[in-house]
């Protein structure tokens, strides 16, 4: 009991949280998580705390007894948990829209996937695709997988990365990961600033996202292109724990680093997972040898290479394997 009483003295206040009062009039601010028998679970600073009902004021007990879990929303959209692909579409902020119209720092390397030397006509909104686990808690820090697709034909550009979200969705949610795709209303976004809009929205409304860890992945051109958002994350001091590369035969990490002036050191902690078919003629094993050498030259040495019987395709079991491996990162 002494520990619980001490909490009402020592825990720092958190903004926007509910004020709780114990039977002696002492107060803390914390978020309601759930009732749990003769205790109440609250969250403060990302940590869950159990408080005995017997220590709470009458007003708190009335609140607890009438409490219902709130709907999960983001940007005014109700987010359905447990594997459904949700879409949040909203206008870019004026600051971001100005950058998109005037700044070509983005997928500007003509050799890179998603290449676009000019802003896309009519690109005015963020289109954020999202899948969250059934037990997702916006107050807790999640692992987040960013899915990136190749742009080989105009239809790929228009469909954007969202077209691939279901390829990763179940693998992510079964393992407790959030899965996202970042696009614009015109399809694949032309500028990395779209990630600032997406992640900024999540961090503003879901406090746990401020401590999220990220991975990115894709197949073929998407495995090359996913190093773009990874570089943006590194530039903006977001922790990146892994990159999943299926059918990868070439990389442009140095180009992305140059575009965004990203520091080198954070790359050294990234886990890099290769998935390749033994009969893949587009990304043969010999090309993976070159890509691995390229990564090692950048200081990335935590590398796994896995193969499967098949050609230039995605191997679902390797997605699970990679996510589990990434999540082991301390």
Same-domain check for residues 27 and 136 = no
Confidence of residue 111 (pLDDT cuts 50, 70, 90): very low
Same-domain check for residues 125 and 180 = yes
Same-domain check for residues 87 and 52 = no
Q: Please tell me whether residue 175 adopts helix, strand or coil conformation.
A: coil
Among 16, 39, 65, identify where a domain stops: 65
Same-domain check for residues 239 and 97 = yes
DSSP states along 17-59 = PEEEEBTTS-EEEEEEEEEETTEEEEEETTEEEEEEGGGB-HH
Same-domain check for residues 26 and 84 = no
Same-domain check for residues 54 and 91 = no
pTM value is 0.81
Same-domain check for residues 152 and 193 = yes
Exposed, middle or buried, 312 (CB in 10 Å: 0-12/13-18/19+)?
A: middle
Q: What is the CATH number of the domain that holds 41?
A: 2.30.30.700
Q: pLDDT over 70 for what percent of the chain?
A: 90
Same-domain check for residues 147 and 214 = yes
Strands 86-91 and 271-277: unpaired
Same-domain check for residues 49 and 85 = no
Q: Return the pLDDT at 105.
A: 59
Same-domain check for residues 241 and 128 = yes
Q: What is the largest CA-CA distance in the chain?
A: 73
Q: Return the pLDDT at 8.
A: 47
Same-domain check for residues 21 and 141 = no
Q: Please tell me whether residue 128 adopts helix, strand or coil conformation.
A: strand
Q: What is the CATH number of the domain that holds 173?
A: 3.40.50.1820
For residue 18, the enclosing domain spans 2-65
Give the strand order in the sheet containing 47-52: 18-21, 27-36, 39-44, 47-52
Instruction: Please state the rounded mean pLDDT for residues 79-96.
Output: 94
Select the more confidently predicted residue: 87 or 110.
Answer: 87
Exposed, middle or buried, 41 (CB in 10 Å: 0-12/13-18/19+)?
A: middle
Same-domain check for residues 162 and 224 = yes
Q: How far is 246 from 220, CA to CA, in rounded Å?
A: 6
Question: What's the domain count of the chain?
Answer: 2
Q: CA angle at residue 306 from 129 to 279, to 5 degrees?
A: 95
> CA–CA distance from 66 to each of 35, 51, 55, 196, 275 (Å)?
10, 17, 18, 38, 50
Q: Return the pLDDT at 268.
A: 96
Q: How far is 317 from 330, CA to CA, in rounded Å?
A: 23
Answer yes or no: is pLDDT of 292 > 90.
yes
User: 208-255: per-residue pLDDT in tens?
Assistant: 999 999 999 999 999 999 999 999 999 999 999 999 999 999 998 988
User: 32-84: per-residue pLDDT in tens?
Assistant: 888 999 999 998 877 888 999 999 999 999 999 998 878 899 999 999 999 89
Among 17, 45, 65, identify where a domain stops: 65
Mean pLDDT of the chain, nearest integer: 88
Q: pLDDT over 90 for what percent of the chain?
A: 72
Among 49, 65, 81, identify where a domain stops: 65
């Amino acid at each position: 009991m002494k520990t619980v009483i001490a909490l009402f003295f020592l825990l720092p206040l958190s903004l926007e949280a509910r004020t709780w009062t114990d039977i002696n009039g002492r107060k803390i601010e914390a978020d309601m998580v759930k009732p749990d028998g003769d205790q109440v679970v609250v969250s403060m600073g990302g940590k869950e705390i159990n408080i005995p009902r017997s220590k709470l004021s009458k007003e708190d007990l009335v609140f607890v007894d009438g409490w219902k879990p709130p709907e999960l929303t983001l940007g005014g959209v109700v987010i359905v948990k447990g594997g459904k692909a949700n879409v949040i579409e909203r206008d870019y902020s004026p600051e971001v829209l100005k950058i998109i119209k005037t700044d070509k720092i983005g997928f500007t390397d003509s050799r890179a996937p998603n290449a676009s030397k000019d802003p896309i006509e009519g690109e005015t909104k963020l289109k954020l695709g999202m899948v969250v686990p059934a037990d997702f808690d916006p107050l807790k820090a999640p692992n987040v997988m960013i899915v990136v697709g190749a742009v080989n034909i105009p239809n790929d550009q228009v469909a954007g990365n969202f077209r691939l979200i279901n390829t990763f969705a179940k693998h992510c949610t079964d393992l407790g990961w959030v899965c996202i795709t970042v696009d614009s209303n015109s399809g694949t976004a032309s500028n990395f600033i779209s990630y600032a809009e997406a992640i900024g929205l999540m961090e503003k409304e879901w406090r746990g996202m401020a401590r999220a860890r990220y991975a990115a992945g894709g197949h073929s051109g998407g495995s090359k292109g996913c190093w773009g958002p990874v570089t943006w994350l590194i530039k903006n001091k977001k922790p990146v724990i892994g990159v999943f590369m299926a059918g990868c035969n070439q990389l442009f990490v140095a180009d992305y680093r140059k575009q965004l002036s990203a520091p080198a050191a954070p790359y050294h902690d990234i886990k890099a997972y290769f998935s390749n078919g033994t009969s893949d003629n587009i990304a043969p094993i010999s090309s993976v040898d070159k890509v691995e050498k390229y990564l090692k030259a950048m200081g990335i040495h935590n590398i796994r290479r896995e193969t499967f019987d098949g050609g230039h395709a995605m191997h679902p079991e390797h997605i699970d394997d990679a996510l589990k491996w990434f999540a082991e990162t301390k």
